[in-house]
Chains A and B, each alone.
Chain A
Amino acid sequence: MKNLNTLLMAALLGLALFAGAASAQTAEEIMKQSHLAYYYAGDDGVAEVGMRLIKGDKERNREFTMLRLDNAEGGAQKYYTYFKKPSDVSRLTFMVHKNPEDNDKRWIYIPAVDLVKPISADDKNSSFVGSDFTYEDVSGRHWSEDTHTLKEDATLDSSAVWVIESIPKEKYKGFARKVSYVDKASSLPLKEEYFDKKDKMVRIFTAERTEEVDGIMTVTLRSMENLKKKTKTFVDFSRIKYNQGLTDDLFTERYLKNPPRQFVK
């Protein structure tokens, strides 16, 4: 009897531990899926991007063409950005070689002085072109850098979602805690709340509009609100095309000065 009890206890304990591990596994799995669905849709992609940077009643706009090539699913990526607006920076181009294992590499081409300049990529939390999105928001933070916990299953705007809490494994300036609402159907993040070290919510990401493009569910309008600064940025993706057969040679210095005209109009 006594032995049986002990055995039962041990079994229960084991089950509990397994269940806990399974939930952690599931949460990380969900975040990985979400990351891939959001950042690595297709093998490559081309889009026209319009940005509206809003502060109070003032609005600034940016327009650019963006090219993306995935070298490895969930791994290295290359981005190319050609600015059209504001008009005084038109023809300015920008390129990122993203490497999850190491620092990203970035280059900028300044047409006014006809100069290509590598720029620092140490701080992934710096603002992307002055918007409320950081570089990391644009290119993604690898799921393995945080510990994820599935908090609950919930419904967000009539979509079934997983609510997942992510806490950085190492002390991190970007956030102390993040809560993601991941759509069960598409794995896309529908909402993300960022908390600072005082556990005050400081930023909210919202997938404002989700559409199917070339059979791939895509967030075509997204926003990031900075609660502290009371600013908000909307990013509108249009003319999205996936799997255009982009090649590595497009993402070199040569094309910074001379944009690939078949993609950049």
Chain B
Amino acid sequence: MKKGIAEFSIKRPWIVLGIAAIITVFFAFQFPNIKIDTDPQNMLEADEPTRLFHSFTKSEFNLYDFIAVGVVGEPSAFTVDMLNRIYNITAEIEEIEGVIVEDIMAPSTVDDIKQGGGGALVIEPLMGDEIETEEEALYILSRIQDNPILRGKLASEDGQAIALFIPLESKDVSHRVSEEIREITGRLGGNATYHIAGLPLAEDSFGSEMFAQMAYSAPAAMLIIFLLLWMFFRQMKVIVAPMVVAMMSVIWAMGLLILSGFTVHIMSSMIPIFLIPIAVLNSIHILSECCDRYKQIQDKKETIRHSINELFVPMLFTSMTTVAGFISLALTPIPPVRVFGIFVAFGIVTAWFLSLVINPAIAILISEKTLNKFISVEYGGGPLARIMRGFRNLSLRRNKLIIAVAVVVIMVAGYGLSQIIVNDNPVKWFKQSHPIRIADNVMNQHLAGTYMNYLVFVGDEDDRMKDPEVQTYIESLQRELEKDEIVGSTTGLPDIIKKVRYELFSADSAKLALPDDQTEIAQLLFLFEMSGGDPDDLFKFVTPTYDKSNLWVQLKNGDNMAVSAVVDRGNSFLAQNPPPEGVEVKWAGLPYINIEWQRQMVTGMRSSLLSSYVVVFIMMIFLFRSFSWGVISMLPLTITIMAIYAFIGYIGKPYDMPVAVLSSLTLGLSIDFAIHFIQRLRTIHKRTNDLRASFDEIFEGTGRAISRNVLVIAIGFIPMLFSTLVPYITVGSFFLAIMVVSGLVTMLLLPAITRTFHKGLLPVKAGGGTSEESDQSTVEAKNI
């Protein structure tokens, strides 16, 4: 098979290129049909119970995802000027398309329950009209502070900040709506700072910034890789091949993904970034090999045949191991990760195949003259060659030291792994300096929080929520949850009942308690509905049939760790104090969904990583027909994964979605160098039958190819380090770390081990009968 493919490319280069171009155009034409999806909710299956219950809660209680606008006054937000500005800003926000006008929470829209003239119970907007005096401004602040439903939520205790909550028809308008709000506050804002925060905004903005980022970093990486290749090979025509292979692989994979009807999620948007290095790696090996061999062979076709022949098996295995790393993602319970894994795997297979056909096809079209120039620049000297010789000498002379260092690294890393913190927060996908992060910090410092979880009480029959026992229970749960410092406020039906009762009895503070009579609760709630209170406000907390009730748990921190702590606190209270008979209690809310998919992701990724590790190990034993070589080949991979994740553990970077998914990439890429190294070392050793001579040759050829790869990939992704989005920085850093660590381990530890145990690993055969095993691997490759 391997000869057939390359032969055809050598004989009919134009046909191969033409067919590849047609297929590429076909896939490129799928791009306009792209469907983008940035909703982290889709990290869970559509029918996942947590997600279903969240949607159910939203529709049962008419809840919408919201963004929060924070106004921080200097020194106070409760002045005539500021309140009137906020009044007018709110009026304009009401005009924005996609805003749920009825549910906006702002001083001019929320109802206040209070005593009117003649002892009347009044429910009316907190700020019905523009105001004129500072007394009115302070009165509004005092009304907020006197209202458990608004306190801390609408204004900070000190009156410096005001929050407006803007509910949205759907999450995917939040970025646009926030831009329109920025325009309004910029025009009408006056002397105050305005912040816009909220999970939907972070999620939606991440989506739009992500695609901008993609449009920048994928081409930037391509450009830098191109420049680096040019530095190495100095021949434009030669280095076109890897670029073509990389681009085609990306277009085929993305085109097929779009054609298959999948949405491009945050994960799948990274497919190009993942495929480019993998595609380039194979081509660099072929180019390096051709470059090194052409000098000796001096025949174009023969050089290509020889190189493909030499590299076919290692390339097959490096690709298959990477496929194994990514295809294992198909086992995770997270749909976008599955899609990502499958299509990266498809792209890798494509890249492997295209490397085998496109590289020869392009190479054959290059004149012998160009090729001569091409090698004359490179061969022999150069800093890379010198460094490689240094590595060779180091691993030969200090082999035991290297092994000792490796053992220490593994031990230190083992401890570091135990330090890993699992945490995620979509807001923190933005850099510290990003406006969304700043808004998140400022608002959660001043106000009750921008993250909303819900705790839903499901009763067994209508009117169950009027039961005083149930309300008392909800109230005690509120007090328990509020002990957690990230819980900014809890709001539920008990607060409304108590507030109505308090105002009904002419603001008698003795009446600021739940009644113990069900009829009274029923009538107080009816009074609220009768006296101008918007029933829709009430039905955010209880269903119209009073069979379910919803407790709002407002959080100042959206970190999954912090949210989990609150959920755990609630759950242990529920376990110790079972709810009244017939009442079930369940969580909902975006932060809760996030902790749920994180939990599934962590367990899913763990089993996916373990299974692909085992698969790769088996593949290695099979490839090398040797258990010991199988074990050795796993070392660069093992040490790289351990070192990178231990580093993450030590510096306290949370193990989040990108970090989790990158374990597959680490696994797939860091085995590659070992495969090339060991496969070639054994082939060479069979020929030379001498350790020293084999080392000379491998550091000259394969060593240079590996070091070129390390440089190209590590440097090629440096632009990603300057991204405003943290996951991109993470991915860029990973590429760098994977290349450097696995490159170093391959070029130092593997030779050191070989040197130390060479008698067992590379037995010197008497009489030089050498080609037997080499043929075996050829046969085996044919069978695949």
Contact = CB atoms under 8 A, between A and B. Distances in A.
A112 B124 contact: no
Nearest to B536: A229
Given A55-B544, A58-B545, A89 B523 contact: yes
A92 B526 contact: yes
Contacts of B62: 229
B81 interface: no
Nearest to A56: B59
Contacts of A117: 119-121, 504, 527
Interface in B116-133: 116, 118-124, 128
B199 to A, nearest CB: 25
A111 B524 CA distance: 10
A89 B522 contact: yes
Interface stretch (A121-129, A151-159, A247-255, A256-264): A121-129
B179 interface: no
B380 interface: no
Interface stretch (B513-521, B576-584, B641-649, B657-665): B513-521
B118 A108 contact: no
B697 interface: no
B377 interface: no
Nearest to B503: A117
B7 interface: no
A94 interface: yes
Contact of B523 (A110, A121, A228, A229): A110
A100 interface: no
B504 A113 contact: yes
A86 B527 contact: no
B526 A89 contact: yes
A70 B534 CA distance: 29
Contacts of B526: 89, 92, 129
Interface in B592-617: none
Nearest to A59: B545
Contacts of A58: 543-545
B445 interface: no
B519 A119 contact: no
A130 B466 contact: no
A56 B522 CA distance: 23
Nearest to A113: B520
A25 interface: no
Contacts of A106: 531
A13 to B, nearest CB: 40
Contacts of B123: 119-120, 126
Interface string B103-147: 000000000000010111111100010000000000000000000
Contacts of A120: 116, 120-124, 531-532
Interface string A89-113: 1001010000000000010101111
Nearest to B501: A113
A212 interface: no
A88 B522 contact: yes
Interface in A110-154: 110-113, 115, 117-123, 126-127, 129-130
A108 B123 CA distance: 14
B532 A118 contact: no
Contacts of A89: 522-523, 526
Contacts of A229: 62, 536
A209 interface: no
A92 B523 CA distance: 8
Of B504, B532, B544, B545, chain A has the most CB atoms within 10 Å of the CB of B532
Interface in B451-504: 463, 466, 504
Contacts of A129: 526, 529-530
Contact of B518 (A86, A88, A119): A88
Contacts of A60: 544-545
Nearest to A198: B95
A14 B128 CA distance: 45
Contacts of A119: 120-123, 527, 530-532
A44 to B, nearest CB: 23
A112 B463 CA distance: 17
Contact of B533 (A88, A115, A126): A126
Given A108-B530, A130-B529, A88 B519 contact: yes
B121 to A, nearest CB: 5
Nearest to B535: A130
Interface in A69-91: 86, 88-89
A53 interface: yes
Contacts of B519: 88, 111-112
Contact of B124 (A94, A118, A122): A122
Contacts of B532: 119-123, 126
A228 B517 CA distance: 36
Contacts of B118: 118
A122 B117 CA distance: 12
A94 B527 CA distance: 10
A112 B535 contact: no
A53 B522 contact: no
A18 B118 CA distance: 50
Interface in A36-81: 53, 55, 58, 60
A88 B523 contact: yes
A129 B523 CA distance: 12
A228 B62 CA distance: 12
B466 A88 contact: yes
Contacts of B124: 120, 122-123
Contacts of B524: 110, 112
Contacts of B120: 117-120
A256 to B, nearest CB: 13
A53 B545 CA distance: 11
B304 to A, nearest CB: 68
A112 B533 CA distance: 20
B518 to A, nearest CB: 7
A53 B536 CA distance: 13
Given A53-B544, A117-B504, A127-B535, A122 B523 contact: no
A106 B45 CA distance: 52
B373 to A, nearest CB: 70
Contacts of B545: 58, 60
Contacts of A115: 504-505
Nearest to B532: A126
B60 to A, nearest CB: 10
Interface in A194-236: 228-229
Of B122, B515, B517, chain A has the most CB atoms within 10 Å of the CB of B122
B781 to A, nearest CB: 63
B371 to A, nearest CB: 70
A103 to B, nearest CB: 11
Interface in B246-287: none
B469 to A, nearest CB: 16
Nearest to A197: B95
Interface string B727-749: 00000000000000000000000
A224 B654 CA distance: 54
Contacts of A121: 532
A112 B517 contact: yes
Given A106-B531, A121-B532, 10 more contacts: A88-B466, A89-B523, A112-B522, A115-B504, A119-B120, A120-B531, A120-B532, A122-B124, A126-B532, A129-B526
30 contacts: A60-B544, A88-B463, A88-B523, A89-B522, A89-B526, A106-B531, A108-B527, A110-B524, A112-B519, A115-B505, A117-B119, A117-B121, A117-B504, A118-B118, A118-B119, A118-B121, A119-B120, A119-B121, A119-B122, A119-B531, A120-B120, A120-B123, A120-B124, A120-B532, A123-B532, A126-B123, A126-B533, A127-B534, A130-B529, A130-B544
Interface of B: 62, 102, 116, 118-124, 128, 463, 466, 504-505, 515, 517-520, 522-524, 526-527, 529-536, 543-545
Interface of A: 53, 55, 58, 60, 86, 88-89, 92, 94, 106, 108, 110-113, 115, 117-123, 126-127, 129-130, 228-229
Question: Shortest 7 CB-CB distances between A and B: which pairs?
Answer: A88-B522, A120-B122, A118-B120, A112-B520, A119-B531, A126-B532, A130-B535
